[in-house]
Amino acid sequence: MHEVKEVGAAELIYEGNSYKYPVIEGSEGERSIRMGSLRADTKLISYDPGYGNTASCISDITFIDGEKGILRHRGYPIDELANNCTFIEVAYLLVHGHLPNQNQLTYFSRLLNRHSLIHEDMRNFFKNYPDHAHPMAILSAMMVSLSSFYPELNVGEGEEMDLTVARLLAKIRTLAALSYKQSEGHPHVYPSSKMTYVENFLNMMFYTPVANYELDPVTVRALNKLLILHADHEQNCSTSAVRLVGSSGANLYASIAAGICALWGPLHGGANQAVIEMLDQIRREGLTIDACIERSKDKDDPFRLMGFGHRVYKSYDPRAKIAKQACEDVLNKLGIKDELLDIAIQLEDRALNDDYFVSRKLYPNVDFYTGITLRAMGIPTNMFTVIFAIGRAPGWIAHWLEQRDDPDQRIGRPRQVYTGPQERKIIPIENRD
């Protein structure tokens, strides 16, 4: 990990006393005040709901500049990765810090194929879930169950680390596909050594004994891009959950299961499903684009324009442009005329030319088009977040490994500002009002 450099000091004056804290700078010029001794010095703590202004770690995995619309993994821009690499190459990059050469990629790919099966006894777990169980519920439970089947888990370095990483990346894809099959009440499909990572997932999802599934190169390429777009996104909710659980010494599988649960929320990984539901509502109710735009500005109206704006990006989400192109490629190749896409394009065009959205920097985010693409592939809405989880797994793993090797890290333990009652005495029950 690269070291930060000290570039100055910030002064805090409190109750007539002066306290100085070092200002540190990262490789892209981002600056932060190192305030680890704040409470010891002043008896004060910072209050920052959602940690929007608090750096919880030093990381060299992903860089985001929300004002300029920049997203880079290990220095590589997201558009170059999405247009020139496979998901497995990006996964290798996130975990190892560099893109693989051909020998490294071949070795890593073979590991993924070799460990893509799950223990046969785990299939009994699937049988006990009801058919209507949400795939994310199944995926999170099955992920943590992996630690029971691999109790020898000990993430070291070199080949040992490659084995653990490949095992998890291979099995999360298999578990995700089986979760879908279980929710549909269909027989499970085994992975094949003859297919790529993405091809295997699609085949395990859609092949049935009575209907062969033909892989379409455009669909495979589009899903590969969507997985890359989700591969990592700095210290978001689910990644922070992985780090927080991992900081307790919990194993990798338990930490990833926590990330899956955090991702499940509609404000995080479930946002692309919310976009589809919004577009479908517009279609169903025959709402005009102008009416939707005006209603979204009214705080008293329950209607919300989903897929616009982002906690970090204050310009166009760089992932959204790639997702939009992938969406158009899939629909054109499959010959699908999707009314929801037409509505989405009109909404985007109208919003980007409306002062209300422009002044508030509410641009389309990555969720705006991914749902339409997945829908065109035949993937049901309750699987959207599962796809997100597969894509985000390399980032989660990379952050877990980075935290493990960071000497500055310790168990996560945020503070709070207490507003409850002060000390009081217990009144005997017979005397209570």
268, 246, 253: which is closest to 367 by C-alpha?
268
Residues 192 and 150 in one domain: yes
How far is the C-alpha of 262 from the C-alpha of 392, rounded, in Å?
12
pLDDT at 123 exceeding the cut of 90 = no
CATH number of the domain where residue 365 is located: 1.10.230.10
Beta-carbon count within 10 A of 177 CB: 26
pLDDT digits (tens, 9 = 90+) for 81-108: 999 999 999 999 999 999 999 999 999 9
Give the chain's count of helices (H) and strands (E): 18, 6
- For residues 196 and 333, membership in a common domain is answered with no
Mean pLDDT, rounded, for 276-284: 91
Task: Say if residue 171 is in the same domain as residue 280.
Answer: no
- Cβ atoms of 264 and 270 closer than 8 Å: yes
CA distance 45 to 401: 29
Q: Does residue 307 sit in the same domain as residue 366?
A: yes
Whether residues 283 and 207 share a domain: the answer is no
Same domain flag for 290 and 367: yes
pLDDT at 392 over 60: yes
The total domain count for the chain is: 3
Query: Would you call 280 a catalytic residue per the annotation?
Result: no
What CATH number is attached to the domain comprising 21?
2.20.28
- Greatest CA separation for the chain: 79
Whether 313 and 240 share a structural domain: no
Instruction: Convert the pLDDT of each residue in 178-214 to its tens digit.
Output: 988 888 888 899 999 899 999 999 999 999 988 888 9
Domain-located, residue 388: no
268 in active site: no
User: Does residue 94 or residue 265 have the better pLDDT?
Assistant: 94
Q: How high is the mean pLDDT of the chain?
A: 91
Q: For a pLDDT cut of 90, what percent of the chain falls above it?
A: 64
Residue 181 is assigned to a structural domain of this protein:
yes
Query: pLDDT category, 388, cuts 50, 70, 90?
Result: very high
83 and 20 in one domain? Answer: no
Active-site residue (options: 233, 310, 317, 399): 310
One domain for residues 85 and 34 = no
Could you tell me if 372 and 344 are in contact, meaning their C-beta atoms sit under 8 angstroms apart? yes
- CA–CA gap between residue 345 and residue 407 (Å, rounded): 48
> For residues 302 and 116, what is the distance between their CA atoms, to the nearest angstrom?
44
Residues 179 and 297 in one domain: no
Tell me, yes or no, whether 215 and 233 share the same domain: yes
Other Cβ atoms less than 10 A from the Cβ of 127: the count is 8
For residue 180, is it within any domain?
yes
Residue 54 is encoded by which pair of tokens? 């608090």
- Rounded CA-CA distance 319/134 in Å is 27
| Residue 331, number of CB atoms within 10 A of its CB | 19
Q: Report the DSSP beta bridge partners of residue 76.
A: 73
In a domain, 385, yes or no: no
Q: Domain range spanning residue 123?
A: 78-263+396-404
> DSSP assignment of 150-188, as one string?
-TT----SHHHHHHHHHHHHHHHHHHHHHHHHHHHTPPP
Q: Which residue has tokens 């004060």?
A: 44
Q: Are residues 231 and 283 in the same domain?
A: no
For residue 61, pLDDT beyond 70: yes
Can you point out the beta strands (E) in 87-230? none
- Domain containing 102 — which CATH number? 1.10.580.10
